[in-house]
Amino acid sequence: MTRKKVIFIAFAIEDERSRDFLKGQSLNTNSPFEYIDMSVKEAYVSEWKDKVRERIKRSDGVIVLVSKNSLNSSGQKWEIQCAREEGKRVLGIYAYKDDRTNIVGVNIKVWTWENIRVFIDSL
């Protein structure tokens, strides 16, 4: 059996529920993907960048949940920048069906099990 990949999920705090859905999908018995979630559940009060960088370093890749909220999320922008600095592969997934916000430099796909599986399997 292959080991579970470690994934950091970068998201705007307003999209926390979408992050919860993504994590829940991976636990579904019919899901073609499985991973260990390294996303930050609560904002760190101090030294959060150091702690997040460590989580990203320990991750195999980063999934970015993309929405209109991403455009104003300084934390999510920093997490994406950090992932690039650490040489991590990044996949953007649209958080909502009717929101097609783009983030420069992030390859964004529609949220499907297959798109997520292909990314995770490629890590």
- Exposed, middle or buried: residue 87 (CB in 10 Å: 0-12, 13-18, 19+)? exposed
User: Which structural domains are found in the chain, ordered by start?
Assistant: 5-122 (3.40.50.10140)
Question: 113-122 and 16-27 helices cross at what angle (nearest 10)?
Answer: 80
What's residue 46's pLDDT?
Answer: 64
Q: Considering the entire predicted model, what is its pTM?
A: 0.90
- Dihedral through CA 36, CA 87, CA 74, CA 72, nearest 10? -90
Mean pLDDT by 10 residues, the chain (123 residues): 82 93 82 75 70 92 97 94 97 97 96 94 93
